[in-house]
Amino acid sequence: MNYRSYAGGMPLGKDYTGQYCSLARALEVVGERWTLLILRDAFFGVRRFGDFAAHLGVPRAVLSDRLGSLTAAGVLTGAPGRHGHTEYVLTSKGLELWPVIRTLLDWGDEHYSAAGPRRVFRHGADDAPVTTGGVCTGCGQDVPVTDLVVAPGPGLAETGATDPVTTALATPHRMLAPLHA
């Protein structure tokens, strides 16, 4: 391993040169601070810069940089939306990251959310819970992310936030369905 990237508190960057492990290559794309949170929000249906910014509280310059990197990496596409905003949407390459994000979410709930999961994931077809591995506990199907509904869980604390993302996710919401019609 090469730990130079941690020297002086530098963020993970493009400095895995010489690392041929595929994990290092993957971290070049998703290993920077905020990136996985941006992708999580994209799975929730967030598409607009302003919505990412309002929900995450990420500095706008950082958000701009991350959206640019993810678009350059082919994880997101950015295209003009109907209302003149650029809309960032997950590509098929980006959609493949869902199991990674789901696993990290559940790991975080397990170890850092004593009150239980902050959000739960259900099969849209029968409303049964879907396991970390993506299997419906009702019908036994492997459920693609497009057929998942995210709903508030017992560990979801009331934050008082009124941004459009928090508001949309206060009730069950189909994954990837845009927050704005």
Output the DSSP codes for 53-67: HHHH---HHHHHHHH
Segment lying near Zn ion (by CB under 5 A), choices 90-98, 130-138, 145-153, 156-164: 130-138
Is there binding between residue 96 and Zn ion (CB under 5 A)?
no
Residues in binding contact with Zn ion, number by CB under 5 A: 6
User: With contact defined as beta carbons under 8 Å apart, do 155 and 142 qualify?
Assistant: no
Q: Which residues contact 26 (CB under 8 A, 6 or more apart)?
A: none
Q: Which pair of structure tokens corresponds to residue 115?
A: 């009150």
The smaller minimum CB distance to Zn ion, of residues 39 and 130, is found at 130
Q: Report, in Å, the least distance between residue 100 CB and Zn ion.
A: 22
In the complex, which residue's CB is closest to Zn ion?
Answer: 136
Is there binding between residue 122 and Zn ion (CB under 5 A)?
no
The smaller minimum CB distance to Zn ion, of residues 11 and 144, is found at 144
User: With contact defined as beta carbons under 8 Å apart, do 175 and 122 qualify?
Assistant: no
Is there binding between residue 131 and Zn ion (CB under 5 A)?
no
Q: Report, in Å, the least distance between residue 171 CB and Zn ion.
A: 20
| Helices and strands: H and E segment counts in the chain | 7, 5
- Alpha-carbon span 71 to 47, nearest angstrom: 13
Q: Report, in Å, the least distance between residue 59 CB and Zn ion.
A: 40
Q: Report, in Å, the least distance between residue 158 CB and Zn ion.
A: 30
Is there binding between residue 138 and Zn ion (CB under 5 A)?
yes
- Alpha-carbon span 4 to 21, nearest angstrom: 16
Interacting residues with Zn ion (CB under 5 A) = 123, 126, 128, 136, 138-139
